[in-house]
Amino acid sequence: MTSSPLKPIIYAGTFERVIDGKHRVTIPAAWLGKGTNEFHAIPNPVEECLIVMPSEEFNSIEERIHQSGAAPAERRKAIRQFYSQARMVSADNQGRILFSEEQCKVLQLRSEVVLVGGRSRFEVWNSQRWKAVSKDEHASFSNIASLIGL
């Protein structure tokens, strides 16, 4: 009898959460797999949120940087910044992830946050910032949805 391979988790949905005084937030149970519950958290270099990704996604980033077509010096700088800003985080037995104080401070992640699914990763947003971004992005989503017949 052969066992079937584990299906990758698809991070989907939006979840309002409270981040506690120790910088912990509870992850949805569906986002915690039967395998490891280790993640890597890195501030999004373009938007003001924290990107949280499983090891498989994290490990693919360096290769994607190498394949980007950027000049070697730019690739080295990007790889250095990527790894220097990333933090390994694990879910505890209660499904909580502890984020670094520094990342929370820079991104203003306190009290109310929103976890936003992004297929192979998820994002953690300041609640007020997410409301504004979500509102701004709605027109783009509606346009693309119409183009593809969603």
Q: Say what the pTM is.
A: 0.89
Q: How many structural domains are present in the chain? A: 1
CA distances from 101 to 1, 45, 107, 147 (A): 47, 18, 10, 42
Answer whether residue 39 is part of any domain. Answer: yes
Domain boundaries, position 92: 14-148
Answer whether residue 117 is part of any domain. Answer: yes
Cβ contact 107:25 at 8 Å: no
pLDDT in tens, 88-129: 999 999 999 999 999 999 999 989 999 999 999 999 999 999
Answer whether residue 7 is part of any domain. Answer: no
Residue in 77, 94, 88 with CA at minimum distance from that of residue 32:
94
> What sign does the CA torsion over 31, 32, 33, 38 have?
positive
pLDDT in tens, 44-93: 999 999 999 999 999 999 999 999 999 999 999 999 999 999 999 999 99
Q: What are the structure tokens assigned to 110, written together?
A: 């306190």
Answer whether residue 3 is part of any domain. Answer: no
Q: What distance in Å separates the CA atoms of residue 50 and residue 63, rounded to the nearest whole number?
A: 21
Answer whether residue 28 is part of any domain. Answer: yes
Answer whether residue 4 is part of any domain. Answer: no
